[in-house]
Every structure is written in C-alpha cells, then in structure tokens.
C-alpha cells in the first residue's frame, strides 16, 4: 500500500512536469506543461475499474483451492453464532456511489493543488486527513478512541505541520530552480499556499469517503476488490458526466469568439488530455504505470479499511510521505532539511502510537473489544477465507 501510494504521487507529479506545447527551446512562446487534473482523476477511476479482471479470475482461483474448503468450514462453524453482515448486491451497490462522489471531489482538488506545490508538500498536507477521519469516526460512526489514540492523531498532525513549515521555507527557492522555469501554463503560477489550501480542503472529502466506506462495509459484506471495482465504475461515470456538463456550461456562457479557446484550454477537457497523453511517450508510459500502481493501492486501501478501521487506513497512508520525500531528494526535485526529518519522526511515532505498536495495551484491547461487541469478529475471521470460497 505504501509503495504503490508513493508511486502514485511521484508519477502524477512527473506528468505535471512534462511539456506538451511549445517545447522547442528556440520558440518565443512559453512552454506549456501537462495541465489535466480531471484527466488524472479519471485515470485513477479507470485503474479501479481494471480490478474487474481480478474479480473475474476469483472463481478460477477458488476452484483450485478446494482442498482448503474444510478449513473454511471449520472456521465458519466456530463463528456461526456471530453476526454476519448481509451481502451487498443488487440495487444496494448504488450505495458505493456516495464514497465515489467524495473521491471525485477530493482527488480532483488534490490534483489541482499538486500543480502549484512540490510533491512532498502535497503529501505532507494530505497527512492531515487523519484528524478529520478520527473526528468523523467519533461523530458519525460513534467510535470511541482512547487517549493514546488521540495522542497518536495529535502527534501525526503536529508532524504534518512541522514538515509543511520546513517545506514552505524552501518553496520559493525550489519553484524558481525546478518548477517555475518550466511550469508556464500548468498552474504553478498560483502561490503554493493556494495549492496547500486546496489540498487541505480536499481532505474533508477524503475523510468523508473513508468513513462512508467503513459505514457501508460494517452493514454489508462485499469483497474489497469488488468495492474498488464499483467505486471505479461510479467514479468514472460521475467524472465524465460532470466534465461534459462543465464544458457545456463554459461554451454556453463564454463569448462566441472565445468559447472554443476556453473549452480547449479547460482543465475539464478530457479529450485534450487524452490527445496530449497519446502524443507523448513519457506521459503514455507514466499513465500505464499509474494505472497499475493505483489499482494496487486502492485494493490494499479498501482491505485495510475493512480489516481495521478508516482511521487506521488514513494513518498508515501518512507513512507514504517518507518514501515520497526520499524519492524527491534522489530525483533532485527537492533538498534535504533537518526540520523535515524531525517532522517525519513525529509522523512515524504518531502512526505507531495510534496503531498500538507503541503502548499497545490500551488502543488494541479497546478496539478489539468494541468490534467483538458489535459482532464484527465473524466477518473479520471470514475475511481470511474469502479467497477460498466463491463470493455469492
């Protein structure tokens, strides 16, 4: 999950750095870089839809695991007295459109924010989702977090702030040396603070998505891989339809003389984005890599949400910042700063505290007791045998 998540952010930033127009250094016109955040959002949902291949292969895999069916039967008998969620089928699948809408909004806002900020700042600010998820889990899911868990969340948030403060000091210098010389027309003209605020606001949608997923998966049983598939279907449909409506509105309310230019230069024009990707080997290759890494990341993410909790998923996701920061330094996109190292230390410590690796007696016992009380033990144990049985 962490490795795939690192690849997602780094490859997306790599795409933002690719020149698509006026790339000849002899040209007087300013170079324009890839500036298609909505296309990148659709790219993510298409990757989620691709997991249908895994879903189709599941019956074949199950038939070749028949020798383990007696193990599944024994486990099923052991937990038969527990409460088992109802399978999510038929019209109820539409419930997954709700987290998909949140994903569309959050991902698009973050993609726009990434245009104006270095990738490390992008990932650091994303770490603030932990606090939103924790608060939403308590308010709407009626979770009870221990004092140590709250300490972990506060520590993670403090780490995000410290690293963000350190990165902010280097923003102007790094933009002048690495980004601003190339980023004519890709959104980097905005102040980095604008990008930070967009990314921070996007975390409200992301936190809502995590909590909605957990709420649905508590009440209904569905393989995590199928959750990803359906959210990909709904997300792609919603994004494409919304993009078309926005382009129609732009053409309708723009002056006739400028309507065509406004549509062609719009960040919502998926056709232009596809043409630019197809014409650039670097963009085409990175898009293929993003599809693979995103599919892996989303499958792992939904699985963690079902087996642990939405808050734990978002906390683990924060660890991606470490890998992204190191990779950015290795690529020459950013420079090493001691204050950043201190912030990362806080992030890691907060993650370990929240997940019970440090001072595990409090959080782990309380979390497991709550799950047993709610009858969740049955489907958590059954998750271990899902690949041995056909999902009906």
32-33 and 86-87 beta bridge pairing: unpaired
**pLDDT tier at 234, thresholds 50, 70, 90:** very high
- pLDDT at residue 344, as a whole number: 78
Per-residue pLDDT tens over the stretch 203-212: 999 989 888 8
The yes-or-no verdict on residue 115 having pLDDT over 80 is yes
The yes-or-no verdict on residue 2 having pLDDT over 80 is no
Flag the least confident range among 51-60, 163-172, 191-200: 163-172
Which has more confidence, 188 or 252?
Answer: 252
**Which one-letter DSSP state was computed for residue 390?**
-
The yes-or-no verdict on residue 19 having pLDDT over 90 is no
Q: How far apart are CA 128 and CA 314, in angstroms?
A: 9
* Average of per-residue pLDDT across 161-188: 55
The yes-or-no verdict on residue 123 having pLDDT over 50 is yes
- pLDDT at residue 238, as a whole number: 93
The yes-or-no verdict on residue 72 having pLDDT over 80 is no
* Average of per-residue pLDDT across 298-308: 64
Per-residue b or e along 363-384, where b marks 16 or more CB atoms closer than 10 Å to that residue's CB: beebbeeebeeeebebbbebee
Percent of the chain at pLDDT > 70 equals 65
Nearest to 268 by CA among 285, 287, 283, 247: 247
- pLDDT at residue 67, as a whole number: 47
Per-residue pLDDT tens over the stretch 330-385: 888 888 888 878 877 887 787 777 766 675 454 444 444 344 434 443 444 444 34
- pLDDT at residue 41, as a whole number: 92
Helices 338-354 and 310-318, axial angle in degrees (round to 10)? 160
**pLDDT tier at 288, thresholds 50, 70, 90:** very high
With contact defined as beta carbons under 8 Å apart, do 231 and 47 qualify? no
- pLDDT at residue 256, as a whole number: 52
- pLDDT at residue 282, as a whole number: 92
With contact defined as beta carbons under 8 Å apart, do 21 and 31 qualify? yes
What SS3 string covers 114-177?
A: HHHCCHHHHHHHHCCHHHHHHHHHHHHCCCCCCHHHHHHHHHHHHHHHHHHHHHHHHHHHHHHH
Average pLDDT, the chain: 73
The yes-or-no verdict on residue 191 having pLDDT over 70 is no
- pLDDT at residue 391, as a whole number: 41
Which has more confidence, 188 or 163?
Answer: 163
The yes-or-no verdict on residue 21 having pLDDT over 90 is no
Q: How far apart are CA 351 and CA 106, in angstroms?
A: 23
């Amino acid at each position: 999950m962490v490795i795939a998540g690192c690849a997602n952010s780094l490859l997306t930033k790599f795409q933002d750095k690719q020149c698509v127009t006026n790339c000849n250094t002899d040209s007087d016109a300013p170079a324009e870089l890839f500036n298609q955040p909505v296309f990148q959002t659709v790219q993510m949902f298409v990757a989620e839809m691709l997991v249908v291949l895994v879903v189709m292969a599941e019956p074949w895999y199950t038939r070749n695991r028949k020798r383990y069916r007696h193990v599944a039967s024994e486990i099923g008998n052991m937990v038969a007295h527990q409460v088992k969620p109802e399978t999510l089928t038929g019209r109820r699948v539409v419930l997954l459109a709700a987290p998909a809408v949140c994903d569309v909004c959050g991902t698009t806002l973050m993609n726009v924010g990434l245009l104006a900020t270095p990738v490390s700042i992008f990932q650091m600010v994303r770490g603030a989702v932990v606090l939103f998820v924790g608060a939403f889990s308590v308010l709407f899911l009626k979770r009870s977090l221990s004092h140590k868990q709250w300490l972990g969340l506060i520590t993670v948030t403090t780490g995000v702030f410290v690293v963000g403060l350190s990165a902010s000091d280097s923003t102007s210098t790094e933009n002048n040396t690495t980004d601003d010389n190339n980023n004519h027309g890709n959104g980097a003209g905005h102040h980095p603070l604008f990008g930070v605020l967009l990314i921070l606001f996007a975390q409200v949608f992301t936190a809502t998505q995590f909590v909605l997923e957990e709420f649905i998966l508590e009440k209904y049983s569905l393989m995590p891989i199928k959750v990803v598939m359906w959210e990909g279907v709904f997300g792609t449909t919603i994004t494409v339809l919304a993009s078309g409506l926005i382009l129609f509105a732009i053409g309708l309310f723009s002056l006739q003389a400028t309507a065509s230019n406004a549509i062609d230069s719009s960040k919502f024009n998926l056709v232009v984005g596809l043409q630019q990707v197809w014409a650039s080997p670097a963009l085409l290759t990175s898009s293929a890599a993003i599809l693979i890494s995103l599919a892996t990341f989303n499958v792992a993410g939904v699985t963690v949400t079902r087996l642990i909790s939405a808050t734990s998923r978002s906390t683990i996701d924060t660890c991606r910042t470490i890998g992204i920061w190191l990779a950015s330094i290795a690529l020459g996109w950013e420079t090493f700063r001691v204050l950043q190292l201190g912030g990362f230390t806080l992030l890691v410590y907060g993650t370990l505290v929240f997940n019970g690796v440090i001072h595990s007696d409090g959080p782990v016992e309380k979390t497991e007791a709550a799950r047993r009380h709610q009858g969740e033990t049955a489907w958590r144990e059954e998750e271990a045998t899902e690949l041995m049985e056909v999902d009906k």
